[in-house]
Structure 1
Amino acid sequence: MNKYVLSFTEIDKAHLPLAGGKGANLGEMTKAGLPVPTGFCISTFAYRTFIKASREMDGLFDQLDQLTYDELERIRFLGKRIREHLASIVMPVDMKSEIVRALDKTGRDKAYAVRSSATAEDLPTASFAGQQDTYLNVRGSVQLLHAVRDCWASLFTDRAISYRVKNGFDHRSVFLAVVVQEMVFPEVSGIMFTADPISGHRNTISIDASFGLGEALVSGLVTADLYQVRGGEIVKKQISKKEAAIYAVPGGGTVTEPLPYEKQTLQALPDAKILELAALGRKIEAHYGREQDIEWGLSDGRFYILQSRPITSLYPVPSFSDEKLHVMINFGYIQMMTDPMKPLGISVLSRIPDFLANDPEARPIIREAGGRAFVDITGALSSKFVRSRILTVLNGMDQLMASAVSEAMKRIEFQYGSARERFRIAARLAPIIVPAAGKVFANLFFKAPEKAEQQAAAFIANIVEETRGKLSGASGAETIRLIKREMGNLLPDVLSKVAVYVLTGVIASGKLEKKLKKKTGNEQSAVLLSKLYKSLPHNVTTEMGLELADLSDQARKHPELIRYLREAKSEGFLEELAKIPGGGDFANELECFLEKYGVRCAGEIDITNPRWCEDPVQLAPSIISNIQSGAAGEHRRKFKQGEKEAEEAGCEIISQFRLFEKRWVSRLVRVYRSLMGMREHHKYTLVKLLHLYKQAILKEARTLVKVGILQREEDVFYLTLDEMAGLLENREAGSIQSILKTRKQEHASNQKLKSPRVLTSEGEIVAGKLHNAKSPEGALIGTPVSAGVVEGTARIIIKPEDAKLNPGDILVAPYTDPGWTPLFTSAAGLITEVGGMMTHGSVVAREYGIPAVVGIEKATELIREGVQIRVDGTNGYVQIVSKEPSSN
């Protein structure tokens, strides 16, 4: 449609390429009969025609393409140059005439708001709100034409350029329309969100209101009143002091005026109008089918809607078939992997609790939201007995999560669960828990704990071989159904055959700590127990770290090999390695390491992540860090020293007690040392099986590639198990490429989301709190998990494959799972955003004897790379010693 001007009545949401996000929305609402002031839109065709008149813009666009979003000085210089250039271009005569005719038709004597409306604006995934300019109380054709040109130029403000670069939008493909809308001169105006933008609660309407034009609120000139409505009732009113307001000037433009003192603390909207506006907000939300960010004004007792756009900051919520309030915990935080997973990864993990559900397909316990797996614990919370155990377990995993769940349990729905629900849960769990409890009792009091690791290892080897045999005998959709069944039966088996040992160790730890604190006091007991925890035997992850450090010692002998490892790429890694002096022997040692541990990687609970055996170059940064941060054999010496300290601590602990108690305390020490190291065995079992499942799934994927249904094997990572089974049975193949394209886009978007620890079915993000009376002012508070104090240089590491640690460096990471373990031999201290006393990083830090604090929200953002920090792993806080990065 090659028209310069379009009336609101001519456009709707389908006309975004012509009218931009703002214009398309205003046309959509006009057609829906919503109270929108009249107006028209100067189309993107007009903008493109205007730009084509320039001979320089192609070259200027080329320069924009080379920018990064943080090159502020270059952005400032180039943006100013483009704006000045656009101001010099003459608007075509026919374009001017059409704009003036539209003004005459709407009313030349009226005042207008002239707003920029970009095609990459008010989208479901990016709002671009405030990136371009707005001009208020524009009167007459001269002011209007000038404002239109200024709007076009505002597409190249510093903030707009930087925002597009950061969000990956091509400058050439973002066009600008201009909305010309009759001005409303409201007594009160503001913004309404049809979901709480802070907590995410979908049933809460949040309204900001102030006197005069809404620009006072948007610009931050005033603090607006805040009203919240839920279920047709006002649940919150926060009346602010509104010292000023913006009003229109008769000749055009606006003026800021102070409000009379007696008006400053008045409630801007009466209660009845608050409820009327909230009802209008729900109507708009229903029309668009999603939550909205709405600009509104109240004039002569009537509400006008000036704009409505999607709220893009809300975290997605899984759908539920009932109206009950559900509470979900983020499985990634429990497993120390907060990155988004691809659909196949979540689909596989979602089968684990199948044994608990009557109908796992209709009422899944694990649900996807924002590319993360959330566990619905609502049913478990209905039982007081189970509820208290959940909190105990979560407290050891992540104190912030435990705190958030405690907050969620204050909701009335969780005070009393139905007897039927409690009985159902008990009936499902009893066949697992009762035998497991018996084994824990026997391990704690009677059985020789030294034999436990051998028995667990035999079980793991057996289940892996059995699974390999079953998979080799299956094909097609039956392979996928087999994987679903095996995952559903895994937890009861692993709990009764493997996890019972570490559960026994945890109980022994608790009993020993209680007795020791009573005998020696908190401080001495903490010191003794921290030593007793060092160099625990039978920890498969610690052993993996030691063997990788052995591999590093092999590499440090050959300078050319080290240089190769610093620059190595995935493609041809092993082949090129063999050509380097010393590379042949190193490659043989690496092959042996991969034979034992190649199924592991960072984020290993996601079946779609590349394993070390698939991409061994992932290990190169850890090998280099080991070489840089320690001498040959130092890791083994430290481990031996840790064993010696643990043995001495055990003897000292036992010596604290009288004869009649020594035997029991000695037993606890023995169980503690023998079994606590086995805390990784159950996850190691899962990881080994996931690798087998992945190989089987990729085998079936190759079949789908051969028949042309899929283009690449890895496309299956964006499908669920059920969808893959359907494809293998020649079902659901028609729209598969469209589904894959959408899923890949969603996964890219999910990378930008910060996932919450606890989420409700109403969209509310329930936050937890940590308190620490011992922390100094300004310190970052977390959970103390490995005693000691260390000062060093902060190294912010988001992915282990990017790690570069030097002696004395402190590892600051979003989380750590077993794939991060190789870095622990290099780090002087540890800080993570996620974790608790019993999570991976905490356990390994205690074994290695490095101070650690975990659960510090946004640690990787609050701590700058290269600054000096002090980690107090005894009291649970981190201090930033120097605010400027060191020159090292």
Structure 2
Amino acid sequence: MDEHADRHPSRPGDTVISLARVDAGMVPEVGGKAANLGVLLAAGLPVPRGFCITTTAYREVAAAAGVDPSGPPEQARSRLAAVSLPEGDVEAILAAYADLGEDTPVAVRSSATAEDLPEASFAGQLDTYLNVVGPDGLLDAVRRCWASLWTDRAVAYRADHGIDQRSVGIAVVVQEMVDAGVAGVMFTANPLTGRRKETVIDAAPGLGETLVSGAVNPDHFRVDAATGEILQRSLGDKLSESRPAPGGGTRLLHRQDGAGQACLTDEQIRSLARVGTRVEELYGDPQDLEWAIEPGGGITVVQSRPITTLFPLPEPQNHDGGTRAYLCASLLQGLTRPLTPMGLASFTLMSDSYRPTATGGGPAPYSSAQAGMRMFVDVTSLLRTRGGRRGLLRAMKVADARSVDVLAYLAADPRFALTRAPRLASLKSGLRASPPFGLVGDVLRAMANPAAALERVREADREMDRMLVLPEPVTGARRLDFVERVLTKEITPAVMRVLPPAAAGYAWLGLARLLLGRLVQAGELQAVLRGLPHNVTTEMDLELWRTATSIREDPDSVRALTEEEPQLLASRYVEGTLPAVCQGALRGFLAKYGHRAVAEIDLGVPRWGEDPAHIINVLANYLKLADPELAPDRLFQRAAEKADAKVAELAARTARARGGLYGRIVAHGLRRARETAGMREYPKFRLITAFAVLRGQLRQVGEELADAGRITAPGDVFFLDLAEARVALRGADLRGPVAERRQGYHREMRRRRIPRLLLSDGTDVEAAMAAQAQAGPSADGQPGTLTGAPASAGTVTGKARVILDPAGAHLEPGEILVAPSTDPGWTPLFMTAGALVMEMGGPISHGAVVAREYGIPAVVGVPDATVRIRTGDTVTVDGAAGTVVVDRSQASDGGSRGPGGGR
């Protein structure tokens, strides 16, 4: 029993509390670090004795010193560093220190109330002082820990995580100093690959500060936590170590023989892994620990915090054990951001109602799953049959080229070995992985008669329009019934009815490619698909250009768009106070396309008709385009003319080489391809049309719930699912759950890396590939040649503009757009872009299709393009070869990047 624990029990308002009296519920008083240490102590884990100076002491001293949380950080730091502590606090601190022994060396650590929490670790943001000796040294270290709450890096970190600067308090942990023979850090899940139950240990001689600060190359070990098998040993040079200095502080010693042998024995490695497993089981989540081993061999844990960067695991599924593989459906839709709970619920309803069923008692070919507020598809069953694997790889070649390599890598994993399925079962699996077999007849009819197929689409449109009408008046419960019926029974068949024309166009293209054989060069068939008719996304963008053209003629409208902020202009539009020409032109555009949005596949995202700020920003960008030859409508017309010329050229080439009949067939096939391939965007367009109607119905339910006080605002309904909305209509107050989900949503919005292929043990397969190959971009982002999938032929050199989110983005005419992925909400930016580079996508992904239509070079599926390329870099995009050459020698703005492209 800690004697200090008895003498200093915790009470509200205490300035000093023994760590043995601290528990997980005391974060507001002791901060995240101290709370975690208290939990470890209570569980009997080896933690150094100590005490905590609470946030009460800090707040009293900060108030007396005149610290203003909204003022300059340097002012707060200087005042706290020089402040005099109240006499009562000094007495309490020194009494607690005396209980540890006279002039005992201690470690003094900051413990903020927003630190070491599941949503934000704050690792390295606040200060620690080691080997502090004596009362004066202790009090000075306490002041400096308080001051570290206001370093520029800590303030910026809180701002980035949306943490109110005024809400944060800081406590200080004081613990007996461990004179470590070896120290280091340990992760109970692999932080690079995400794999759970794989412990990663970095170790170096002496105190841990050299390792944490990056001053030493440590020994590195990976351990299978379940078996204790040491999977990897990598020895660092360990050329320096930190040791306690006589009288206080630390000193750095240089070593000559650090690389000779490991600083941990195999048994110590396994013992550390066992300690890590105990700590993870205690918290229920993977942990990041700091540890030390005393010269006598005892292991001590000096800190534990959650690993906040791991991608969440998929929700548990009802399967018979074994590792599962999940393909990210969100990324395949060009969406890196999370989906709202209602958006996720809508896709789950649609996929579960339409998913092909298993045959012969076997597993279903795929099922939906969720992780990190994103949609995934369980493709385990497909990977385990030869036909399913072939069908999946075939689909990815055209949808997302990078996924092909990732799936091929996983295919070599014995956990996903092919099962000995009968040939017929394997064939069925392959067909289920491919587009719906029932559409083949409709596709053949569309190939034979495109005009009739387009008329059938128009009839399907009229049927869908009738389906989406809900006669008023109607109750909130009836609105939810309507939304559920459309999602589960009606919307998917309606969208399927408009698929055949586009499929027919690409079938004709494939037939022409087969006939051409070696007569066609790389990129030539892409040229045939430029300037296609019937592409609703192109038509939308051209309509927006015409809107800008009409506005350009009115000086008042031009002045408003170029001088006022888009969000203010959006408010003026809603109020009807924009200049008349601008108001009318924008109203006309939104009447046709107001149902669209960035990230529009999410039902929870506001449509442009609700918030036109993004469209207004794009219009302002269009007004900067001065060269009439670069006008998008002229570019589109020239692209169509070049495509027709390419059709004639390829037909003539075939006729010369193989005869007139072959030439005529190629010409016919390519013309037919051009007639209907532009319909590729139409099924999604109709889906989004339906989503806008369903969103309107849900919004009215939200208004009813907000009026009744069950949620705070009408838009909160999109942070519920349909079942929860029904419960709220019956009287449940769901304001608390909505607030928690909004917090989780905003946290996920900050996440940059989304796994393409995620395993049920947490492994990001693409990251595991890179770790195994020890490849990927260098830490300093050195330039070079990046490779991806060819998407739109042509070569352009220009300045790069990295844009992570199109909302409010600025793209100068001719700049190279570098983006993680795109959906139709991005395409207005394409109209003034010189070229496109994307991290996601394949030859028929959305961005590739639209880039070809505009005749701009494009390379897609470029790994980490938004990291390896910086705004201002000079880049050369070769859309036929699939290469991007980066030249940083002439970067124009210091290599910045960000959501607005480094503006």
Question: TM exceeds 0.5?
Answer: yes
How far apart, CA to CA, are the structure 2 residues paired with 1:752 and 1:206? 25
Aligned with 1:16 (options 21, 27, 52): 27
5+ residue gaps, structure 2, are: 1-11, 359-363, 777-781, 895-902
Aligned position for 1:70:
none
Distance change >3 Å, CA 558–CA 213, structure 1 → 2: same
Matched positions, count:
851
Name 1:487's counterpart in structure 2. 487
Tell me if structure 2 keeps the 8 A contact 1:782–1:853: yes
1:34 to 45, 50, 67: 45
Out of 503-512 and 426-435, give the one that drifted further. Answer: 426-435
1:429 Cα deviation after fit? 4.2
Q: Distance in 1 between matches of 2:344 and 2:879?
A: 34
1:268 has 2:259 as partner: no
Q: CA deviation at 1:377?
A: 1.9
2:170: which partner in 1? 176
Say if 2:356 and 2:432, in contact at 8 Å, map to a contact too: no
The equivalent position to 1:834 in structure 2, one of 840, 843, 850, is 840
Moved more, 788-797 or 747-756: 788-797
Contact map agreement 2:366 2:381 (CA 8 A) in 1: no
Please give the alpha-carbon distance, in whole angstroms, between the structure 2 residues aligned to 1:464 and 1:217.
64
Aligned to 1:854: 860
The verdict on how the C-alpha distance between 1:152 and 1:476 changes in structure 2, with shifts beyond 3 A counting, is closer
3-state SS of the aligned residue for 2:516? helix
Q: Tell me the CA shift for residue 715 of structure 1.
A: 1.2
* Distance in 2, Cα, partners of 1:86 & 1:493: 66
Alignment of 1:759-770 (within 5 A): 759-767=758-766
What is the letter of the counterpart of residue 306 of structure 2?
Answer: P
Structure 2 distance, partners of 1:869, 1:318, is: 38
Matches of 1:381 and 1:12, distance apart in 2:
47
Equivalent position amino acid for 1:325 in 2? T
Deviations 1:403-423 (A, max 9, x none): 223223332232124759968
Alpha carbon RMSD of aligned pairs, Å?
3.1
Q: Does 1:745 align with 2:738?
A: no
Aligned to 2:335: 337
CA contact (8 A) 1:228 1:235 kept: yes
Aligned to 1:257: 253
Instruction: Return the match for 1:5 from 11, 16, 23.
Output: 16
What residue identity is the alignment partner of 1:721?
A: L
3-state DSSP of counterpart to 2:242? strand
How far off its partner does 1:431 sit?
A: 12
2:624 corresponds to 1:624: no
CA separation of 1:492 and 1:718: change in aligned 2, threshold 3 A: closer
**Counterpart pick for 1:644 among 630, 641, 644:** 641
Question: Matches of residues 372-771 of structure 1 in structure 2 within 5 Å?
Answer: 372-417=374-419, 419=421, 426=429, 429=432, 433-444=436-447, 447-468=448-469, 475-489=475-489, 493-494=493-494, 496-520=496-520, 522-523=521-522, 526-527=523-524, 529-566=525-562, 567=564, 569-573=569-573, 576=576, 579-580=579-580, 582-583=581-582, 587=584, 590-629=586-625, 634-657=631-654, 658-728=659-729, 730=730, 733-734=732-733, 736-754=734-752, 755-767=754-766
- Give the SS at the match of 1:504: helix
Amino acid at match of 2:799: T
Secondary structure at the counterpart of residue 283 of structure 1:
helix
Amino acid corresponding to residue 181 of structure 2 in structure 1 = E
Q: What secondary structure sits across from 1:506 in the alignment?
A: helix
The separation in 2 between residues aligned to 1:713 and 1:40, in whole angstroms, is: 47
Would you say 1:120 and 2:114 are equivalent positions? yes
Residues 449 and 670 in structure 1, CA contact (< 8 A), matched pair in contact too: no
Give CA-to-partner distance per residue, 1:32-85, whole Å, 9 cap, x none: 11111211222222223333442x434xx4423xxxxxxxxxxxxx52x54443
Quick check: 387-396 or 279-288, which moved more? 387-396
For 1:552, what is the secondary structure of its paired residue? Answer: helix
AA matched with 2:396 = L
Letter of the structure 1 residue corresponding to residue 375 of structure 2: A
Q: Distance in 1 between matches of 2:578 and 2:239?
A: 74
Preserved contact between residue 866 and residue 886 of structure 1 (Cα < 8 Å): yes
Aligned 8 A contact 1:9 1:27 in 2: yes
Checking the alignment, whether the CA contact within 8 Å between 1:350 and 1:364 is kept in structure 2 is: no
Deviates more, 1:802-811 or 1:130-139: 802-811
2:816 maps to 810
Q: Deviations over 1:679-737 (max 9, x none)?
A: 11111121111112112222333333343323322111111122113333x16x14x11
**Residue equivalent to 1:137:** 131
> Is 1:885 paired with 2:895?
no
1:284 is aligned to 2:286: no
Aligned residue for 2:6?
none
- Structure 2 residue matching 1:129: 3-state secondary structure: coil
Q: Take 2:221 and 2:649, find their aligned partners in 1: how far apart are those partners?
A: 62
Structure 1 regions of 5+ residues with no counterpart? 65-77
Range that drifts further, 613-622 or 419-428: 419-428
**1:107 aligned to which of 101, 107, 111:** 101
Deviation at 1:385, TM superposition (A): 1.2
- Match of 2:71? 63
Letter in 2 for 1:652: E
Q: Do the aligned residues in 1 keep the contact of 2:572 with 2:578 (CA within 8 Å)? A: no
Deviation at 1:96, TM superposition (A): 2.4
SS at match of 2:179: coil
- In structure 2, what is the Cα distance between the partners aligned to 1:641 and 1:806? 22
Q: 2-side partners of 1:886 and 1:215: how far apart?
A: 36
**Which residue in 1 is equivalent to 2:371?**
369
Q: Which residue of the partner structure matches residue 322 of structure 2?
A: 324
Residues 828-855 of structure 1: per-residue CA shift (max 9 Å, x gap): 2222232221111211111111111223
The change in CA–CA distance for 1:151 and 1:711 in structure 2 (over 3 A counts) is closer
Closer/same/farther in 2, CA of residues 430 and 473 from structure 1, 3 Å limit: farther
1:90 aligns with 2:84: yes
Kindly indicate whether the alpha-carbon contact (under 8 Å) linking 2:464 and 2:494 is maintained by their aligned counterparts in 1. Answer: no
Taking a change above 3 Å as real, the CA distance of residues 431 and 830 of structure 1, as seen in their structure-2 partners, is closer
Q: Offset of 1:442 from its aligned partner? A: 4.5
Q: Deviations over 1:119-160 (max 9, x none)?
A: 221111111122222222223333323322332233333333
CA distance in 2, matches of 1:662, 1:670: 12
| Deviation sequence 1:194-228 (CA, Å, 0-9, x none) | 11111111121111112221112112122111211
Report sequence identity in percent: 36
Quick one: structure 1 residues 155 and 506, their matched pair in 2 at CA, closer, same or farther if it must change by over 3 Å? same
Tell me how far apart the structure 2 counterparts of residues 505 and 363 of structure 1 sit (CA, whole Å): 28
What do residues 773-814 of structure 1 show as CA deviations (whole Å, max 9, x unaligned)? xxx971333322111111233334444442444432333333
Whole-Å separation in 1 of the counterparts to 2:381 and 2:473: 38
Between 745-754 and 126-135, report the one with greater CA deviation. Answer: 126-135
Distance 1:480 1:173, change over 3 A: closer
Output aligned runs, 1:152-191, within 5 Å.
152-191=146-185
CA deviation string 1:285-312 (max 9, x = no partner): 1111111111111221221111111111
How many Å separate the matches in 2 of 1:105 and 1:591?
Answer: 74
Tell me the CA shift for residue 161 of structure 1: 3.2
C-alpha change, 1:114 and 1:427, in structure 2 (3 Å) is closer
For the 8 Å contact 1:51–1:57, the answer to whether it is kept is: yes
- Cα gap change, 1:467 to 1:160, in 2 (>3 Å): closer
- What secondary structure sits across from 2:185 in the alignment? strand
User: In 1, Cα distance between the equivalents of 2:374 and 2:278?
Assistant: 31
